[in-house]
A and B are shown apart, each in its own frame.
Chain A
Amino acid sequence: GENVEQHPSTLSVQEGDSAVIKCTYSDSASNYFPWYKQELGKRPQLIIDIRSNVGEKKDQRIAVTLNKTAKHFSLHITETQPEDSAVYFCAVNAGGTSYGKLTFGQGTILTVHP
């Protein structure tokens, strides 16, 4: 099955700094790569996603880059704010016919200090 590794497991930054979280995956047929943010006691919510036909996508302070050859993708958050503090999960869909099946990384606990 799909193997998704996410690093780092915890990340502590000062407000205004940038944060980068990286995920690697194993299935070369995967073509959808979302990032979810989960605040304490809340549901996971999509913050950005990318498909395999593009290398980068940006939405205000958040960007995702994808390197299909190396099978890794990264979340970049610039000008971090305390409200960015949460657990971030990357995910990868199973390629081939197993559509709808997302495998999540182990999560990164991001803490932004004021």
Chain B
Amino acid sequence: DTEVTQTPKHLVMGMTNKKSLKCEQHMGHRAMYWYKQKAKKPPELMFVYSYEKLSINESVPSRFSPECPNSSLLNLHLHALQPEDSALYLCASSQIIEELFFGEGSRLTVL
């Protein structure tokens, strides 16, 4: 299994809503990532979990809250988002300093 699975594929939410994005991998990778990608732009790193511990937070606003319940799962909890947070949110996994395997992404629209 070389897949990173993300749900939901599409999400529309209001600025007062609370929602979560989910990511799952079964490749035994020890690092998992959240990236944000705006149209026609490169992916921007948000968070890195290494061995289930948060190792990098790229100064992401607190309205984004990551969680790593176990080595296969990664969540991104969303609360009080702004319209400018609308983007494609990509989950990825890897062994350390190895190929990033990206999921298909969750396309988020904040109204």
**Which residue numbers of A lie inside 8 Å of B, CB to CB?**
31-32, 34, 36, 42-46, 49, 87, 89, 93, 98-107
Contact = CB atoms under 8 A, between A and B. Distances in A.
Contacts of A44: 43, 90, 100, 102
A31 B102 CA distance: 21
Given A100-B33, A101-B48, A43 B100 contact: no
B73 interface: no
Given A103-B45, A104-B43, A107-B42, 6 more contacts: A31-B97, A32-B97, A44-B90, A101-B48, A106-B42, A107-B40
A100 B94 contact: yes
A98 B48 CA distance: 10
- The 9 closest A-B CB pairs, nearest first, are A104-B42, A43-B102, A46-B99, A100-B48, A100-B31, A43-B104, A44-B102, A32-B97, A99-B96
A18 to B, nearest CB: 24
A89 B45 CA distance: 14
B103 A101 contact: no
Interface of B: 31, 33, 40-45, 48, 50, 55-56, 90, 94, 96-97, 99-100, 102-105
Contact of B100 (A34, A87, A103): A34
Contacts of A104: 42-44
Given A43-B104, A98-B56, A104-B43, A34 B99 contact: yes
B101 to A, nearest CB: 8
A45 B99 CA distance: 9
Nearest to A34: B99
From B42, B99, B100, B105, residue with most partner A Cβ within 10 Å: B42
A45 B50 CA distance: 21
